[in-house]
Structure formats: structure tokens, C-alpha cells
Amino acid sequence: MLARRGFAYSSNGLDDDLPYWDPNPLHPPLLIVPYALDSNDMKFFHPNGFVRAREMVEYIGDALATLQAEAARGWPRLLNIGFHMRICGRPGRFPAFTGILDLLAARRDRTYLARRIDIATAFRAAVPPPRVAATGP
């Protein structure tokens, strides 16, 4: 189902970890599926970011362990992992990609792996969009 201006969701939000409905009451609801920069290979370009591939793998492993412990307590959790061919596709960084795939495979029985559109579809089914108040005369 498409929302505002034909988009199923937006990933421009960096302000949360979980999906939410844009609270703008003047427009039809737009689903926000936030994006994350801390679990993203773009940190290889940040001065205080990842230097070695194993640093990203360790960071994602720590994030998964924390989020899975919180999920075991019944809290909804989502971890965005961002990869870009121009970044993680480089030979010295590619082990970050394969290492994270190995981490995810080891947790496959406790982890739902999904594309962003799948997350948007599942969220939309669980949390219907808010009604927009009618405007005009």
C-alpha cells in the first residue's frame, strides 16, 4: 500500500530505531522506517569510525546481542545494517560484509531478516496509519 506521494515509506529519519508514522497532521500519514549511521559501512569514512573490517563485525555483534536480550524481555527491536558496494565492496572492507552475514546466519533462529519494504509492510499491518482530520470549509 502506498502512502503520501506514492511512497510506501521514507528512510530519511535518523531520530529513532523503530518505525513510526510521521506526525504531521496536515498531510496523509507517511511511514518512517528509520535509517542508522552507527551500524553502517559509511563509518569507514568517519574520522572516529571503523578502520578494520573486524571492528564493524564486532560492533554489529555487540548490537545484536544487546537488542536480542532486550527483545527477550518483550521489547520490539530493529537493527538497520547499511552496506554500499563502493564502501564495503573494497577488498579490505569486504570481510566486514561476510563476517556480518556469518553473525546473522548464526542467529537465524532468533532473528527476522527483512528488507525495508518487508519491515514497512509488517509495521503497517500491526500499526495502522492514524486518521487525518478533514480540513477545509
Per-residue pLDDT tens over the stretch 76-85: 999 999 999 9
**What pLDDT score was predicted for residue 2?**
55
**Would you state the pLDDT for residue 19?**
96
- Superfamily name and number for 4-126: Glycoside hydrolase/deacetylase (3.20.20.370)
As beta bridge partners, residue 10 has 32
Structure pTM? 0.85
**Alpha helices for the chain (secondary structure H):** 53-72, 85-88, 94-106, 116-126
**Residue 4 predicted with pLDDT over 80:** no
Phi-psi region of 136 (alpha: psi -120 to 50; beta: other; left: phi over 0): left
Structural domain boundaries of the chain?
4-126
Grid coordinates representing 124? 503497517
- What is the pLDDT of the chain when averaged over all its residues? 90
Q: Phi and psi for 82 in degrees, rounded to 5? A: -105, 130
